[in-house]
Amino acid sequence: MEKKKLRQVLRAGLAALFAVGIAIVPASPGLAEVDEPQYLYQCIYDNVACQNGEQVAPYFSYDFSKSGSSQGIDASARIAYDGDYVYVYDSDEDGFSAIAEVQSPSGSVNFRYCRNALGYGTWARCNFDWLEPQWHELYLAEFDASHGGGYLETGPYEFWD
């Protein structure tokens, strides 16, 4: 009889501890899609989309273009409204990735990062889906993954579609 009571008490205690543990554990932020690259800490959030761009030839049509060279960023970006494409060019052999960040205030995704990890002299393309028409801001950045993710940014450059 004693063992039965002890088991009941232990079960009740474990059940109570488990219930309290669930109530104490804070909810984690919504995580991004599993197949998205996680090269920036921001990439884990639902309102952020991160992509590694695919290599493309340098001949494509675009609607908006900016270069960061005048502000010390060795990268360029082009935006093509038809298809919501972001193109990123890496113009320096420094080993850093070139990144274009597109911000917009509306929709469920407000920050889009397109990374050119392909190296110097290459164009990379990311295919995002954003709401039209609205304003967007474009930022250019260099990203050093080898040293804890150093991030040097310039911008914004505004554009509308």
pLDDT tens for 9-61 read 444 443 443 333 333 333 333 333 434 577 788 888 999 999 999 999 988 88
The answer to whether residue 9 is domain-embedded is no
% of the chain exceeding 90 in pLDDT: 27
**Domains contained in the chain, number:** 1
% of the chain exceeding 70 in pLDDT: 65
Measured distance CA(143)–CA(19) in Å, rounded = 44
The answer to whether residue 21 is domain-embedded is no
Closest Cα to residue 133, out of 87, 84, 92? Answer: 84
Please list, in sequence order, all residues whose beta carbon lies within 8 angstroms of the beta carbon of residue 38, skipping any fewer than 6 positions away: 32, 44, 50
- CATH classification of the domain holding 154: 2.60.40
Q: Hey, what's the torsion of the CAs at 74, 38, 48, 57, to 10 degrees?
A: 50
pTM of the model: 0.71
CB neighbourhood size of 138 (10 A): 23
pLDDT in tens, 106-157: 889 999 999 999 999 999 999 998 877 777 888 888 877 665 555 666 666 7
Reduced to 3 states (helix: H, G, I; strand: E, B; else coil), residue 28 is: coil
What is the pLDDT, as a whole number, of residue 114?
95
Domain that holds residue 105: 41-160
Q: With bands split at pLDDT 50, 70 and 90, how would you rate the model's confidence at 100?
A: very high
Joined together, the tokens standing for residue 54 give 């695919």
How high does pLDDT run on average in the chain? 74
The answer to whether residue 4 is domain-embedded is no
The answer to whether residue 30 is domain-embedded is no
CB neighbourhood size of 126 (10 A): 22
Give every strand in the sheet of 48-52, ordered side by side.
48-52, 111-116, 97-103, 135-144, 150-160
The answer to whether residue 84 is domain-embedded is yes
What is the pLDDT, as a whole number, of residue 95?
77
Closest Cα to residue 87, out of 118, 55, 40, 111? Answer: 55
What is the pLDDT, as a whole number, of residue 23?
34
The answer to whether residue 135 is domain-embedded is yes
